[in-house]
Amino acid sequence: MVQQGVQTQAGMLFVALCLHMGAATAGMLKVDMTSDGNGGGGDTISHSLTLVQRLEALLLQGNGSDLSLRVETPSADEVKVIQAHSLVLSLQSPVFEEILLSRNSSKLVLKESSDCAAVFDKFIRYLYCGEISLRLDQATPLHKLATKYQVTGLQQGITQYMTQNLARESTSATWRAGMSTPCRPGT
């Protein structure tokens, strides 16, 4: 009986070690103990980080792309060409889904304002990776793109980002204004 308990512990240790080593080499494997909805416990194994990394690599390398996006400004003085995958764009945007269903070419020309064209690659990266890093000056054009292409999660995230940053800017400006106003006796 004791030997069986030691074997079980050794087996569990081996599995844990394998999972740890696999996570280190495969890009983080997340295992959660959860309820399976039927009153019993179950485990969730997630490779979402690895999946995001692979999708980002697909975008960066253009491997297997079936679509060439040509992003132009109205005056056509700025042009960006992005290799993309119609499946990813269609899954993330109902507008892209509709456009791509009716296309008959592997090239898609998109007319965007200069400020939106400047951040279009960030917008596409969000569609692939589900995250974006941005500066406050990029928020408005990214929000315009999210609205135009009906990417609700990005719209909501940028609205929250702008609200938080504008509130911070407002508080900071109020504080600076208060610091520059000299105190007078009796006030």
The string of pLDDT tens digits covering residues 35-54 is 555 655 688 888 888 888 88
Domain 52-171: CATH superfamily, name plus number: Potassium Channel Kv1.1; Chain A (3.30.710.10)
What is the tally of helices (H) and strands (E) in the chain?
A: 8, 5
CA distances to 37, 158, 168, 173 from 179, rounded to whole Å, are 57, 31, 16, 10
- Which of the pair, 147 or 25, is modelled with greater confidence? 147
Domain ranges of the chain: 52-171
Cβ atoms of 128 and 56 closer than 8 Å: yes
The pLDDT assigned to 14 comes to 39
Mean pLDDT is lowest, of 65-79, 84-98, 106-120, for 65-79
* 175-186 pLDDT tens trace: 455 545 544 444
- Could you tell me the two tokens for 9? 């512990």
- Which of the pair, 26 or 38, is modelled with greater confidence? 38
Half-sphere CA count of 164, side-chain side, radius 13 A: 9
* 50-75 pLDDT tens trace: 888 888 888 778 778 899 999 999 88
CA dist., res. 21 & res. 26, Å (int): 8
